[in-house]
Structure 1
Amino acid sequence: MEFLALKDFLDIKVEQYNQPSFIANDPICIPHGFSKPQDIEIAGFFAAILAWGQRKTIINKCKELFSRMDNEPYQFMMQHGDDDLKGLLGFKHRTFNDTDLLYFVAFFKQHYANSESLETAFLPADFAVQLNFSAEQALNHFRAYFFSLPDFPRRTFKHISSPLQKSTCKRLNMFLRWMVRKDNKGVDFGLWDTLKPANLICPCDVHVDRVARRLGMISRKQTDWQTAVELTAELRKLDPLDPVKYDFALFGLGVEEKF
């Protein structure tokens, strides 16, 4: 497909799917159930990390999780006692279990005791001097920081990916899209200001990967971090300032239209 035809086609699909109607059946509906910024961050983080399998199941599992926190995740992180933690035991979604969950809670408590926003977890201490800071740096830093507490469970490693593991980092890139993109349609939140939409990497799940390959936007044979980078480079040609808005188009074409 020629460049202008491709851009016109995908712009139309962004407009079609980047709408409030998208929210109800997508895991992003979970953070949309909250108004406090920290609640949105925590709910969004869990919704992204648990985004594995059917969307309906993911949404139901997230609702179960936050009901165990009395639907006040930030307050739970900061004020929970041992009895509150017992209420989390038995939670499970796919390979994510209560051992992983308890470490996530410990991480959030430690982080929010020192920072008002989760954005700082993605920013190295020397961020201010890094003018060309990238999503790759942010994700690599975040994984190291996330596992900086003593006695982290080794099994939890698999739930937080980074480019160093050659992963597409689909879940974390999706979370960053939610938090960073300034979206006038009310879908993405745009809570954060230091990380920029232009530097985000497109979440590359099986649907996005399949559609992008059909459109000739991916040539790499395997699907890994470099594949996500390659796709995003193509999307930047269409919109240098907001390339990951096309996630709506590619995902919508793949899931809703079976393109």
Structure 2
Amino acid sequence: MKLKKAELKDFLDEKVILYNNPKFIESDPIQVPHRFSKKEDIEIAGFLTATIAWGNRKSIINNANKMMELLDHSPFEFIMQHQDTDLEKLMPFVHRTFNGYDFIQFIKSLQHIYQNHKGLEALFAKNAKDGSLQNSIHEFKNVFFEIPHLERTKKHVSDPLKNSAAKRINMFLRWMVRNDNNGVDFGIWHSLSPTQLSCPLDVHSGNVARKLGLLKRKQNDGKSLAELDTSLKQLDPNDPVKYDFALFGLGVFEGF
């Protein structure tokens, strides 16, 4: 499907309006952080939910809700005040290859970030450069695993500098940073700008982007992400990642 740039922009802008509204939340994992009102609870619930956001959406939502239940529906308080014995109940948790050992490591690493690095927002904001957050994600991973950790857990945090598209972390960052008052994304991180975001690139958004001529590269990796970001910035330099709603909606809901 080859459209002229102006036509393509109109087509995608219409799809953004169609999907970027509260109805979208009902079937999306973003519903999990939407249950909270405190900033730290929202960002922790968002981060944990995004971490397991691969596979069937229904099971992602169910398992993310299970995570919140295990954290007594107060994720920030649990992370900051838990005793080692409190972590034992997390052991049976499993979502695909993410298991109880990984979950416990995530709780310890998040505690480390809030105690020693001023929290998630400060950590991501600190290392942003070149109008992009991909370096931030790389540095985030370094800090996340600078405490004693299990080697197996490292695979659950992507590294864009190793050519990963880092889909789940880019999705989490979209949730935190974009603020368009449409009720889906939270926009609670004010030290970062939507212009710095990258599109969460997965099978669906990648396939749609290729069909629309926004992406030529075949793999869904870091190089493809850079190419897609460049294309989306040409359509809207101020808020390129709003088109994630269009690409995702076309792929998942419309089988485009």
Question: TM exceeds 0.5?
Answer: yes
Q: Please give the alpha-carbon distance, in whole angstroms, between the structure 2 residues aligned to 1:119 and 1:184.
A: 20
User: Which blocks of at least 5 consecutive residues in structure 2 are unaligned?
Assistant: none
Pick from 224, 228, 231 the counterpart of residue 227 of structure 1.
224
Pick from 1, 18, 21 the counterpart of residue 19 of structure 1.
21
Runs of 4+ in 1 over 6 A off after TM superposition: none
In structure 2, do the counterparts of structure 1 residues 231 and 133 end up closer, same or farther at CA, with 3 Å as the change threshold?
closer
Kept after mapping to 2: 8 A contact 1:90/1:98:
yes
Aligned ranges 1:1-259 → 2 under 5 Å: 1-124=3-126, 132-149=130-147, 151-259=148-256
Give 1:213's aligned amino acid.
R
Q: Deviations over 1:92-111 (max 9, x none)?
A: 10000111111111011112
Higher deviation after alignment, 233-242 or 74-83: 74-83
Give 1:141's aligned amino acid.
E
User: Which blocks of at least 5 consecutive residues in structure 1 are unaligned?
Assistant: none
Percentage identity across aligned positions? 51
Q: Please give the alpha-carbon distance, in whole angstroms, between the structure 1 residues aligned to 2:96 and 2:22.
A: 29
Q: Please give the alpha-carbon distance, in whole angstroms, between the structure 2 residues aligned to 1:200 and 1:109.
A: 25
Q: Please give the alpha-carbon distance, in whole angstroms, between the structure 1 residues aligned to 2:48 and 2:205.
A: 21
Q: Please give the alpha-carbon distance, in whole angstroms, between the structure 1 residues aligned to 2:137 and 2:120.
A: 13
Number of equivalent positions: 254
Q: Please give the alpha-carbon distance, in whole angstroms, between the structure 1 residues aligned to 2:163 and 2:117.
A: 29
Give 1:86's aligned amino acid.
E
Kept after mapping to 2: 8 A contact 1:38/1:116:
no
Q: Please give the alpha-carbon distance, in whole angstroms, between the structure 1 residues aligned to 2:37 and 2:64.
A: 17
Q: Deviations over 1:88-136 (max 9, x none)?
A: 11111000011111111101111212355411222447x6xx5x34212
Q: Please give the alpha-carbon distance, in whole angstroms, between the structure 1 residues aligned to 2:122 and 2:145.
A: 15
Q: Please give the alpha-carbon distance, in whole angstroms, between the structure 2 residues aligned to 1:152 and 1:218.
A: 37
Q: Deviations over 1:22-72 (max 9, x none)?
A: 001101001001000000010000110100111110000011111111101
